[in-house]
Amino acid sequence: MRRIRIYGEEVLRKKTGEVKDIDEGIVRLIKSMKQTLQKAQGLGLAAPQVGASKRIFIALDK
């Protein structure tokens, strides 16, 4: 699980990088984002919210 960044933290203001290839690092990031989202009982989460400057977003389909 990763720490969710809050409004005002620098990582939320940085430009994100495009994901061109889905490698093991990206798969691990997405898995940890999913765990974080479930633990926080959220509906959606962007990679910068967990400290990763990548263009990734996950959402629940409930």
**pTM (two decimals):** 0.89
| Spatial separation of the C-alpha atoms in residues 39 and 8, rounded to whole Å | 22
Residues ≥6 apart with Cβ < 8 Å to 10: none
The domains of the chain are located at 10-59
- As a whole number of Å, the CA-based R_g of the chain is 11
Encoding tokens for residue 7? 């409004």
What single string gives the DSSP state of each residue in 10-58? Answer: GGGTSPPBP--S--HHHHHHHHHHHHHHHHHT-SEEEGGGGT--B--EE
Read off the pLDDT of residues 12-42 as tens digits, 9 standing for 90 and up.
999 999 999 999 999 999 999 999 999 999 9
The pLDDT of residue 46 is above 90: yes
The pLDDT of residue 51 is above 90: yes
| pLDDT at position 52 | 96
Query: Is 5 or 62 the better-scoring residue by pLDDT?
Result: 5
| pLDDT at position 1 | 84
| pLDDT at position 40 | 95
